[in-house]
Amino acid sequence: MIDNNRDNQACAEQQTDCPFCYDNAKENLVEEYQSVFAIEDGYPVSDGHLLIIPKRHSGDYFTMIESERRDADHLIEIVRKKVQENDPTISGFNIGMNCGESAGQSVFHCHIHLIPRRYGDTPKPKGGVRGVIPDKMGY
């Protein structure tokens, strides 16, 4: 088992300049559950695109503690149901995160994307998240 205590201690305090730290983002709150909360994505790729974020400043998924991961899983299910109930055109979801600059992370506070998908929203959805490297999308 990997010990993330060093990383967790380094990331534990709220950052005044971090847009995803709870105190800075709570005015846009959609839902919260224990150690995590959900907000609408500021640059959504589809209607209903949400971000699930730990309240504790945590650099990425790998510095989240087990209880935060568990709470995030629970909150994803709660908001997925609500989003889908409010929009019957939703036929699927992508769930993803960028961990590290080379993976596309631009805000270094962990955030999990919950992206509603609809039939016809893209011509070739096969491969889904594999599209982060376009040449690898088709198989």
Domain-by-domain residue ranges, the chain?
A: 5-120
Mean pLDDT per block of 10 residues along the chain (139 residues) reads: 41 80 95 98 96 97 98 99 98 97 96 98 88 75
Helices (H), the chain: 5-11, 22-25, 66-86
How far, in Å, CA of 115 to CA of 111, rounded?
A: 12
What integer pLDDT is reported at residue 127 of this predicted model?
86
CATH pick for 5-120 out of 3.90.1150.10, 3.40.50.150, 3.40.109.10, 3.30.428.10 = 3.30.428.10
Which tokens belong to 36? 């995590």
- Cβ atoms 117, 127 nearer than 8 A: no
What integer pLDDT is reported at residue 10 of this predicted model?
42
How many CA atoms within 13 Å lie on the side-chain side of 122? Answer: 13
What integer pLDDT is reported at residue 12 of this predicted model?
55
